[in-house]
Structure 1
Amino acid sequence: MTQDVTVIGGGISGLACARAVHDAGKTVRVLDRGRRVGGRLSSRTIEGRPVDLGASYFVVGEAERFAHVVADWAERDLARPWTDTFVVIDADGNQTPKPGPMRWAAPRGLRSLALDLAQGLDVVSERAVERVEPYRVGGEPSGEVVLAMPEPQAARLTDVRLGSGAEWEPVIAVVLRWDERQWPADLHGAFVDGDPDVSFIADDGDRRGDGAPVLVVHTTADRARRHLGDPGGAIPPIVDATRRLLRIDADPVSTFAHRWTFARPTETTGRPFFRSPGLSACGDAWGESSAVRTAWASGDALGRVLAAS
């Protein structure tokens, strides 16, 4: 029997969409090309501990429905408040505190939140989709089809113009581990201003809560573009830049690099999602700002509309 909705992409927007459809009593299937769901909520076990390689944190904001989901995660110790203060580091290494909203993290890595959303859903992993059209995936009847992925990837699957028009920037996430902490205890995370190589630094042990001396450094888009074919090539300049910015004397004892060809949209539409008969789209390019809560809200809103249609 053909399901009511088929979602292509098992990131947080796709899972939120599928969850809303499922909870409304409709049938839904999620097709994901990865071994595990998560998308850009990516955590990888490195040297025995999960490390967040995609999104660095999330903010609840004023999204009431998302707030209920986060409260449930917190009650079950899947998510925890991390910090409301980062610093801004200029190109000379000078630091200025930057208070803001509470940033949340996940003790077991952000992917654990995606896995929780996927509980009870019909998810088919390692399923590469080559072509979609309204109501059909790979030529087979599939109900309403949802593309929950960056638009450049979605455009490879369909001739339907999805309408966001957003360009996407790449990022390489570089994991740096020392034998012991080399930076101040109050440095939770840092936005980097004016550096050609580094855009953000996160203390992964601090956000995970285990105190591991691990930093995850996100490159600038320009630095990432130079190494899309060889992400490991970004490691030496990122090590040099991180040591200079944080005034660290020693080299890390281990490193790892992960490429995100489509890490974030350069702009968003302001609309919650794209909807057309038989083929729709959701994700963090469809809200007011690119963020985890935007992706969740986009998928949730689209799922509720599809379930009611």
Structure 2
Amino acid sequence: MTVDVTVVGGGISGFACARAVQDAGRSVRVIDRGRRPGGRLSSRTIDGRAVDLGASYFVVGDDARFARVVGDWEARGIARPWTDTFSAIDVDGGQTRKTGPVRWAAPAGSRALVLDLADGIDVESGRDVERVEAYRVDGEDAGEVVLAMPEPQARRLMAGIPVAPQEWEPVIAVVLRWDARRWPVDLHGAFVNGHPDVAFIADDGDRRGDGAPVLVVHTTGEAAQRWIDDPDAVIAPVAAATRRLLGIDAEPVAAHAHRWTFARPARTTGEPFFRSPGLSLCGDAWGDSAAVRTAWASGDALGRALAAS
């Protein structure tokens, strides 16, 4: 039996869409190539501990629907307020403290947010979709088809997809673990200005709340592009730069690199989603700013629109 909606892509946008469809009483399934849902909120177990490799945090913003979801996550211990204060570090290591909106994190890793949205949804994991068209996935009837993924990936599945090409920036996330914490307890996170390789540093033990001596460093887009075919090669220069920037006097005892070819859109469309008969797109490029809340809102809005049609 054909479902009403088939979502291809198991990140937060895809499951927000699926959840909205199912909550409205329509049938939906999600197809994802990963072994577990998560998308760019994926956490990977490294040395026996889940580490966030994708989005560093999320901000609630002024979306009342998303605020209710986050409030429920907080009540059940799935998400928690992390910090409203980050550092800005220049290339010489000088730091300035800056206060902004409250950043949120997930104690069990950001994948937990997606897994919670996926609860009770029909999911087919580990499947590589080869071809989509309106109302069809790999030649089979699929109801309304939603591509919840970056536009360049969507275009690989459908030649002539009816949206304008989008430019996306790569990032390599480098996990650095020490034998003990060797940086200030109030580091939280730091934007690095003017560095050729390092863009952001997150204290993952502080973010997760377990105090683990782990930093997750995101490269600049330019550095990721240079090392996109050999992400492990970026570990040494990023580790050295991180030590200089934070004044750490020891080498990390373990390191891991993860490549995100399509980490973030260079610009967003300003529209909440793309919709045409039988084929729609959603994600963090479909909104006013690239963010976790944008991805959720895009999927949720599209799911509600599909369910109402």
1:202 corresponds to 2:219:
no
- SS of the equivalent of 2:236 reads helix
Report Cα offsets for 1:112-163 as digits up to 9, x if no partner. Answer: 1111110000000001101000000011110000000011100101124342
Could you tell me which residue of structure 2 aligns to residue 267 of structure 1? Answer: 267
- SS of the equivalent of 1:280 reads strand
Structure 1: segments with no counterpart, 5+ residues: none
Aligned-partner Cα distance in 1 for 2:164–2:72: 32
Q: In the TM superposition, what are the counterparts of 1:285-304 in structure 2 within 5 Å?
A: 285-304=285-304
Question: How well do the aligned residues superpose, as a CA RMSD in angstroms?
Answer: 0.8
Q: In the TM superposition, what are the counterparts of 1:8-87 in structure 2 within 5 Å?
A: 8-87=8-87
1:185 corresponds to 2:185:
yes
Pick which of 53-62 and 226-235 moved more: 226-235
Report Cα offsets for 1:197-238 as digits up to 9, x if no partner. Answer: 000000000010000110000001111112222111110010
- SS of the equivalent of 2:303 reads helix
Could you tell me which residue of structure 2 aligns to residue 149 of structure 1? Answer: 149
Aligned-partner Cα distance in 1 for 2:306–2:264: 26
Could you tell me which residue of structure 1 aligns to residue 245 of structure 2? Answer: 245
Could you tell me which residue of structure 1 aligns to residue 140 of structure 2? Answer: 140
Aligned-partner Cα distance in 2 for 1:164–1:148: 16
Report Cα offsets for 1:252-283 as digits up to 9, x if no partner. Answer: 01101100000000000110000000000000
- SS of the equivalent of 1:103 reads strand
Could you tell me which residue of structure 2 aligns to residue 212 of structure 1? Answer: 212
Identity %: 74
- SS of the equivalent of 2:157 reads coil
Normalising by structure 1, what TM-score? 0.99
Aligned-partner Cα distance in 1 for 2:84–2:162: 36
Q: Which 4+ runs in 1 deviate beyond 2 A?
A: 159-166
Deviation at 1:46, TM superposition (A): 1.0
- Partners of 1:192 and 1:199 within 8 A in 2: yes
- SS of the equivalent of 2:191 reads strand
Deviation at 1:164, TM superposition (A): 4.7
- SS of the equivalent of 2:268 reads coil
- Partners of 2:86 and 2:188 within 8 A in 1: yes
Aligned-partner Cα distance in 1 for 2:65–2:288: 16
Structure 2: segments with no counterpart, 5+ residues: none
Aligned residue identity for 2:168:
W
- Partners of 1:162 and 1:274 within 8 A in 2: no
Aligned-partner Cα distance in 1 for 2:161–2:99: 40
- SS of the equivalent of 1:6 reads strand
Deviation at 1:86, TM superposition (A): 0.4
- Partners of 2:273 and 2:286 within 8 A in 1: yes
Aligned residue identity for 2:291:
A
Could you tell me which residue of structure 1 aligns to residue 276 of structure 2? Answer: 276
Could you tell me which residue of structure 1 aligns to residue 222 of structure 2? Answer: 222
Q: In the TM superposition, what are the counterparts of 1:61-140 in structure 2 within 5 Å?
A: 61-140=61-140
